[in-house]
Amino acid sequence: MLQEVAGLFLEDAHRLGARHVEVFDDILIRLTESVELRTLTTLSRSLADLHLVPRELARRLANHDDADVAAPILRRCECIPESDLIDIAWMRAEGHLGAIAGRKAVSQELTDILLMRGDSSVLRVLASNPGADMTSAGLAMMVDAAERDEGMAGALIARKDLPDRVLADLVMRSTPRQQARLLKLARPGIQHAIRAAIDASTARAPANPPATIDDAQARSG
């Protein structure tokens, strides 16, 4: 029954008015109360890209316990209120967080929450998402994480909105091998900035290597 009603909605969604969508919303919510997860996941994928969707149904799917059900709506549906996304980001785990991180646009508030709560896979999605708006504090957290994750560092380098100071910080905290890789991955427009950061990093390195234990002992003797 759910599949039949959902099929009717999807077939006519492009010409339905808001009132008709509300009627479908009520019906579909009732029909989703006792169906298997696979069916709900299929429904979520079908609704995620629609311009006008049953709002309450979309909100329930987005907040579903199962991340496979929630992810399509969280990642692609534009009708989910920002307040709902924030609540979900605070309460849910990595599957939900990764889907939110991949949205076309992620606000600074959401980005900060995802940075605080997400694991490395969530942070990689954020770093790779040009629509993720990051605060200065968020960028600092990302650079800290990228110091231990080459994939994340490469994704950050590819961002067009990365401030020069953050770029320099990222490069200077990388090993020489990582710096060479970042230089190779970077777009031509910022390669000169990376080379400058590498030169600055080299200049700050100690002129002489630290004394070994044997050297120190020899001098003390």
DSSP string, the chain: -HHHHHHHHHHHGGG--HHHHHHHHHHHHHHGGG--HHHHHHHHHHHTT-SS--HHHHHHHHT-SSHHHHHHHHHH-TTS-HHHHHHHHHHS-HHHHHHHHTSS-B-HHHHHHHHHH--HHHHHHHHH-TTB---HHHHHHHHHHHTT-HHHHHHHHT-TT--HHHHHHHHHTS-HHHHHHHHHHS-HHHHHHHHHHHHHHHHHS-SSPPPPHHHHHHHH-
pLDDT band per the 50, 70, 90 thresholds, residue 215: very low
**Residue 28 located in a structural domain:** yes
> Is pLDDT at 219 greater than 70 in this prediction?
no
**Residue 53 located in a structural domain:** yes
**Residue 204 located in a structural domain:** no
**Residue 94 located in a structural domain:** no
Average pLDDT score over the chain: 86
**Residue 205 located in a structural domain:** no
Tokens of 96: 């939900």
80 phi, psi to nearest 5 deg? -75, 125
Based on the structure, what is the number of domains in the chain? 1
At 205 the pLDDT is 60
**Residue 31 located in a structural domain:** yes
**Residue 25 located in a structural domain:** yes
Is 126 exposed, middle or buried (CB count within 10 Å of its CB: 0-12, 13-18, 19+)? buried
Give the range of the structural domain holding residue 54, as residue numbers without chain letter.
1-79
**Residue 57 located in a structural domain:** yes
> Is pLDDT at 186 greater than 70 in this prediction?
yes
For the ranges 35-44, 115-124, 150-159, which has the lowest average pLDDT? 150-159
Q: What is the pTM of this model?
A: 0.82
At 213 the pLDDT is 45
> Is pLDDT at 5 greater than 70 in this prediction?
yes
Mean pLDDT, rounded, for 190-214? 68
Q: Rounded to whole angstroms, how far apart are CA atoms 91 and 151?
A: 27
At 206 the pLDDT is 57
pLDDT band per the 50, 70, 90 thresholds, residue 113: very high
